[in-house]
Chain A
Amino acid sequence: MTEAALAPVLEMRGITKRYPGVVANDGIDLDVRPGEIHALLGENGAGKSTLMNILYGLASPDEGQILIGGKPAAIAGPSDAIRRGISMVHQHFMLVPVLSVAENILLGEEPMANPVFVDRRAAHARIRQLGRTFGFDIDPDATVGSLSVGSQQRVEILKALYRNANILVLDEPTAVLTPQETREIFAVLRQLTREFGTSIIFISHKLYEVLEIADRITVIRRGRVVGTRQPAETNEDELANLMVGRDVSLTVDRGESSPGDVVLEVDALRVNDDRGQEAVRSVSFSVRGGEIVGIAGVAGNGQDELVGALTGLRKAAAGRFAYGGHDLTRASVRSLMDNGLAFVPGDRHRYGIILSFPIDDNLCLNDYNRPPFARGIIRDEEAVDRWADARIDEFDIRTPSREVPAGTLSGGNQQKVVVAREFSGDTRVLILDQPTRGLDVGSIEFIHRQAIAKRDAGSAILLVSAELDEVMELSDRILVMYRGQIVAERDGRAADREEIGLLMATGGRDERPAETAEVAS
């Protein structure tokens, strides 16, 4: 904040926001200069989202003020924020999948040819022109649901540009992208700042990305700004320590693994997606006990369907899979669990956790009907309570009590609830689907350690992740999945990051990027 050469376009001064029992923002100062990419770093629950919600008018600060272009601004709501040139691209895209690109971009801002009809032609022309400026090759008439995740994100950014945003907030924009897509989006962001003078607030957990893209980095911990750095004068270790408030190891020491017998065996498995299209095309592989096999791939290349079949949520169309030679292809979820399956689902709100249920019920969601949690048809509340308290303690789930609804926890703690449930007990096969999506470094470190411990205890672990780093860090072997097939296998310790990234994007056959892969997520 010393070299204030340019007057900031946005200043947040002394922002304080209290919620019952917690100060989410405690006197936060943040200033953003024209054409600057300002990264906001912090663990989940550190107060980033609250701060951005205040900026976007979704919450009002208890103290402090916001200055836009030097003038105090009381932002009444999202539409007011948009009018003032602030636009937000959420981590969970706010797009309507069944509408076209153009319709999504226009939503709420339709140019009217007359009081009744939308001026489609003018709108399309503007969208094409915006797209051309940034080298986005996007068809305004394409249905958003049919686009790849990377393209959907560009639609979000186009939406912001269409609204003439000069302050763009990006909430974890790279969480779902391949390294190549990330590079492309970075190029776009740089172009935006250079040619249009747009200011960007960039929220991320990935330290190396922040170092690469940001002009300045502000770190928030427990509602306070703990430091602002220039990328040139800091490094990943310092940023991580600032974020967490103690030393963290960014890469878990995975140690040596000593794989035993084959436990999970998948043989020529074929699985259809919801529309009846073949999404998994004859996939075969095996996972040994005491081994982590990682599946790398861009989201939507059949991983969801593969995991669905292996966990009994989806029926396989052909082929088989077995645990220790025991065929379970047609087994129910319950019978798979009885055979030693544990599963951390990718979509934790959909499959992993019941937001309205208290934590203790969530911690025994799979075992609610067997001892010690139930005798006959009667549930044993005391056993549930004892179990819950022990798990909350062991897995460091930060909660006021076991009685609060799981939905009141932060994302990291929700995931710890799922992990605590699935990692406790005898596990033969452990399937981890995006186990750390959206989590902060502290939680990621914790969950990775737990996974390694599970491996060392002899479980066969299948890790599916769109985060290439995660796959690279944990896996003993890496399989690359592309368009429903395993296109490559690499040794986890010797694999080359760039090569895997390229295999993910192209399947290793041609150099064409996987732009139009049949994607859904």
Chain B
Amino acid sequence: MTDAGNSDQRELEQIPAGPDAAAPQARIPPPQSKSLWGRIIQVSAVPIAAVLLAFVVGSIFILGSSLLTGRDFDPLLPWIAYSSLMFGAFGGLNPIVDTMVAAAPLILGGLAVGLGFKAGLFNIGAQGQFLMGALGAAYVGASVAELPTPIAMTAAVLAGAAVGAAYGFIPGMLKAFTGAHEVVTTIMLNFIAAAIIAYLVAGPLGAEGFAFARTGPIGNAALVDVPGTRNLHIGVLLALLTVPIVWWILARTTFGFELRTVGANPSAARYAGMRPAVVTMTTMAACGLLAGLAGVVEILGVTGFINTSYGTSVGFDSISVALLGRAHPVGILFSAILFGAMRAGAPEMQLDAGIPVEIIDVLQGIILLFLAADILVRRLFRLRVAGTGVDELQTVSRSYGEQAPR
């Protein structure tokens, strides 16, 4: 078959013609578009369609809720609500700053979940890792509050990242050595993290002289504003910088290659001389580091302390962000900004249109629903979609009975 005369009439054997077309175990991605733009459109079509559909369906909820509260029927109400939402999120410098500040922890948290997806891991533990990172940053920040700003800030940031990484390492280790599924262990560790905070903040790590149990003031450890801006703390910059770094690690380093290989096919990874157990542990620690950083950014940039009942939904929203971003760093960046914008713009919407901010949660839920039902979305919009390597939803739904990689 090596004669050159044949090469001009080479047949390009396409998927359905292949001998394995009927083989059930072969997960074969559809043909890829040639150009970069074509590929971007292929990959992002379903998420974009899901968001658009969610806003359409959300308008039904907006109309319904207005009727239930006894207001006159106004068919333009969804339009008013969405435009005030957009105005509240992007209508001027301050709204944009608010959006980005709200997006920063979601970017980092989304990366924490997305990185796991790439390695075939479903990290539900971003919530717990976020909390532990937040605790580390709050406590160390309070301890170094008097030191010069650069030193205090760096120490607090590194401390939060380290605690988050350690907390992520635990489920990674459990999976590598005992085969315990990370979905189960990370959910449990989320509760444990909340309990640890309640105990430590009320006890050993709490500050004196406050009416309620909390950590001390972080003083100089607070994240300063980006020079030339107001209220845009440098944590946002850190989050934005992390996006290309994570992309670079995934796409250009040997570790990223190992991570993606283990995610795509652990058996082939073993046969290629990789050690899936080590990759799993390292990846989970990296996920924990990123989620921990999300907590750091929130504490040192926004709240300034942590109390016993510190509540947040960032960890869980991060899962939605990662799914909507199809686990790609750039996709995660955009979906985090979208989610941040909805958070930042919601008060304006409540003010202008009288729509409760909770409608944002409804919208997020509907987006997720359409992502999960992507076959429906593809049918509706007649989309042909390219695979992204590891299918995030497949990672989510992969069976627990599977053997752990060793």
A residues whose Cβ falls under 8 Å from a Cβ of B:
17, 19-22, 24, 44-45, 47-50, 52-53, 58-59, 88, 90-92, 94, 171, 222-223, 311, 313, 332-334, 337, 343, 345, 349-357, 361, 365-366, 368-369, 374, 377-379, 381, 396, 398-400, 403-405, 407-413, 438, 442-443, 445-446
Taking a contact as CB atoms under 8 Å apart, the answer to whether A352 and B12 are in contact is no
Taking a contact as CB atoms under 8 Å apart, the answer to whether A365 and B268 are in contact is yes
The CA of A454 and the CA of B6, in the complex, are separated in Å by 25
Find B19's partner among A45, A88, A361, A381 (CB 8 Å cutoff).
A45
Q: A49-B22, A58-B22, A361-B257 are in contact. Are A410 and B1 (CB under 8 A)?
A: no
Find B25's partner among A313, A349, A377, A398 (CB 8 Å cutoff).
A349
Closest to B257 in A: A368
User: Within 8 Å CB of B20, what residues of A?
Assistant: 92, 349, 410-411, 438
B residues whose Cβ falls under 8 Å from a Cβ of A:
1-2, 10-29, 31-32, 252-255, 257-258, 260-261, 264-265, 267-268, 270-273, 387, 389-390
Taking a contact as CB atoms under 8 Å apart, the answer to whether B254 and A398 are in contact is no
Taking a contact as CB atoms under 8 Å apart, the answer to whether A354 and B268 are in contact is yes
Find A350's partner among B10, B11, B12, B267 (CB 8 Å cutoff).
B267
The CA of A349 and the CA of B26, in the complex, are separated in Å by 7
Nearest CB of chain B from residue A171's CB, rounded to whole Å: 7
**Apart from A355-B265, A398-B12, what 20 extra A-B contacts exist at CB < 8 Å?**
A20-B31, A22-B14, A44-B19, A58-B22, A91-B22, A171-B22, A313-B270, A343-B271, A345-B271, A351-B271, A354-B261, A355-B29, A365-B268, A381-B252, A399-B12, A405-B28, A408-B31, A408-B32, A409-B18, A412-B19
Q: A313-B271, A442-B1 are in contact. Are A94 and B26 (CB under 8 A)?
A: no
Taking a contact as CB atoms under 8 Å apart, the answer to whether A44 and B27 are in contact is no
User: Within 8 Å CB of B18, what residues of A?
Assistant: 44-45, 49, 408-411
Taking a contact as CB atoms under 8 Å apart, the answer to whether A49 and B19 are in contact is yes
Chain A CB within 10 Å, residue with most, of B13, B22, B23: B13
Nearest CB of chain B from residue A222's CB, rounded to whole Å: 6
Number of A-B residue pairs with CB-CB distance less than 8 Å in the complex they form: 174
User: Within 8 Å CB of A58, what residues of B?
Assistant: 22
Question: Can you identify 23 A-B contacts, CB atoms within 8 angstroms?
Answer: A19-B14, A22-B12, A24-B16, A49-B17, A50-B17, A52-B22, A88-B22, A90-B23, A92-B23, A92-B24, A94-B24, A171-B22, A333-B271, A349-B23, A349-B26, A355-B27, A357-B261, A365-B268, A369-B254, A378-B252, A398-B13, A399-B12, A408-B28
User: Within 8 Å CB of A405, what residues of B?
Assistant: 28-29, 32, 387
The CA of A49 and the CA of B267, in the complex, are separated in Å by 28
User: Within 8 Å CB of B389, what residues of A?
Assistant: 356-357
Find A407's partner among B26, B255, B273 (CB 8 Å cutoff).
B26
Find B29's partner among A53, A356, A377, A413 (CB 8 Å cutoff).
A356
The CA of A50 and the CA of B16, in the complex, are separated in Å by 6
Taking a contact as CB atoms under 8 Å apart, the answer to whether B257 and A446 are in contact is no
Taking a contact as CB atoms under 8 Å apart, the answer to whether B21 and A49 are in contact is yes
The CA of A4 and the CA of B18, in the complex, are separated in Å by 32
Nearest CB of chain A from residue B317's CB, rounded to whole Å: 28
Nearest CB of chain A from residue B358's CB, rounded to whole Å: 39
Find B10's partner among A91, A223, A398 (CB 8 Å cutoff).
A398
Chain A CB within 10 Å, residue with most, of B18, B26, B29: B18
Closest to B26 in A: A349
Nearest CB of chain B from residue A331's CB, rounded to whole Å: 11
Nearest CB of chain A from residue B393's CB, rounded to whole Å: 14
Taking a contact as CB atoms under 8 Å apart, the answer to whether A410 and B273 are in contact is no
Find A379's partner among B23, B252, B390 (CB 8 Å cutoff).
B252
Q: A49-B17, A356-B27, A379-B252 are in contact. Are A351 and B12 (CB under 8 A)?
A: no
Taking a contact as CB atoms under 8 Å apart, the answer to whether B268 and A352 are in contact is yes
Q: A333-B273, A369-B254, A396-B1 are in contact. Are A53 and B16 (CB under 8 A)?
A: yes
The CA of A92 and the CA of B18, in the complex, are separated in Å by 14
User: Within 8 Å CB of A438, what residues of B?
Assistant: 19-20
Chain A CB within 10 Å, residue with most, of B17, B25, B267: B17
Taking a contact as CB atoms under 8 Å apart, the answer to whether A22 and B17 are in contact is yes
Nearest CB of chain A from residue B389's CB, rounded to whole Å: 5
User: Within 8 Å CB of B387, what residues of A?
Assistant: 356, 405
Q: A408-B29, A411-B19 are in contact. Are A45 and B273 (CB under 8 A)?
A: no
User: Within 8 Å CB of B10, what residues of A?
Assistant: 398
User: Within 8 Å CB of A354, what residues of B?
Assistant: 261, 264-265, 268
Closest to A395 in B: B2
User: Within 8 Å CB of B264, what residues of A?
Assistant: 354-357
User: Within 8 Å CB of B267, what residues of A?
Assistant: 350-351
Minimum-distance CB pairs A-B, first 3: A45-B13, A334-B273, A407-B28
Closest to B28 in A: A407
User: Within 8 Å CB of B271, what residues of A?
Assistant: 311, 313, 333, 343, 345, 351-352
Nearest CB of chain B from residue A105's CB, rounded to whole Å: 18
Taking a contact as CB atoms under 8 Å apart, the answer to whether A408 and B14 are in contact is yes
The CA of A476 and the CA of B84, in the complex, are separated in Å by 80
User: Within 8 Å CB of B24, what residues of A?
Assistant: 92, 94
